[in-house]
């Protein structure tokens, strides 16, 4: 992603995720300078952003912190095409977080990722709130590609994500 696209991507992030899961604008923009962080974007022929994938390279894993498609394009295959193209080029295991709460939309989201080859694990944690109501609990489960997550793999990932991204040693 070019830095000129940041505002459009950030606006899509804000309309696609709860406020507690999105960093303040200044922090989000600052992390673009982190060499371990990258945002991949998809554009149409008119140079309009259709969606994005925000990736952290944690060393042994790639962590997809955010993935979103513009609301008008949801359900058209853009998202599955973006993710399939992304997965066809990765050389490390990919980890994503999905909400643990049992709702229809969360079940649909998990099914979407499973159709792309992700495995839902039993492992999870509470994500630290990035802004908003800091008392809110965000319970998440991990999904992984191309293999299921093991207990040892989860511990390595959890240590990486909390120390490198959330800046909390757990």
Residue 132's pLDDT band (cuts 50, 70, 90): confident
pLDDT tens sequence across 36-67: 999 999 999 999 999 999 999 999 999 999 99
In a domain, 97, yes or no: yes
In a domain, 169, yes or no: no
In a domain, 170, yes or no: no
Closest to 86 in 3D by CA, of 114, 55, 59: 55
Domain count of the chain? 1
In a domain, 147, yes or no: yes
**CATH code of the domain containing 103:** 3.40.630.30
In a domain, 124, yes or no: yes
Q: Which domain holds residue 70?
A: 3-164
Distances (CA, A) of 108 to 58, 130, 139, 166, 167: 27, 25, 17, 27, 31
pLDDT tens sequence across 9-42: 999 999 999 999 999 999 999 999 999 999 999 9
């Amino acid at each position: 992603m070019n830095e000129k696209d940041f505002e459009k991507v950030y606006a899509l992030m804000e309309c696609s995720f709860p406020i507690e899961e999105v960093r303040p604008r200044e922090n989000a923009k600052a992390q673009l300078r982190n060499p371990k962080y990258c945002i991949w974007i998809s554009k149409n022929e008119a140079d309009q952003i259709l969606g994005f994938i925000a990736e952290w390279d944690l060393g042994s894993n790639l962590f997809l912190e955010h993935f979103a498609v513009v609301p008008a394009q949801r359900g058209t295959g853009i998202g599955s095409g973006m993710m399939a193209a992304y997965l066809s080029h990765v050389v490390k295991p990919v980890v994503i977080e999905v909400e643990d709460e049992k709702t229809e939309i969360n079940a649909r989201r998990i099914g979407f990722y499973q159709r792309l080859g992700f495995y839902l694990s039993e492992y999870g944690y509470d994500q630290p709130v990035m802004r908003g109501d800091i008392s809110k609990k965000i319970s998440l489960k991990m999904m992984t590609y191309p293999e299921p997550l093991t207990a040892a793999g989860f511990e390595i990932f959890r240590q990486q994500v909390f120390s490198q991204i959330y800046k909390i040693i757990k």
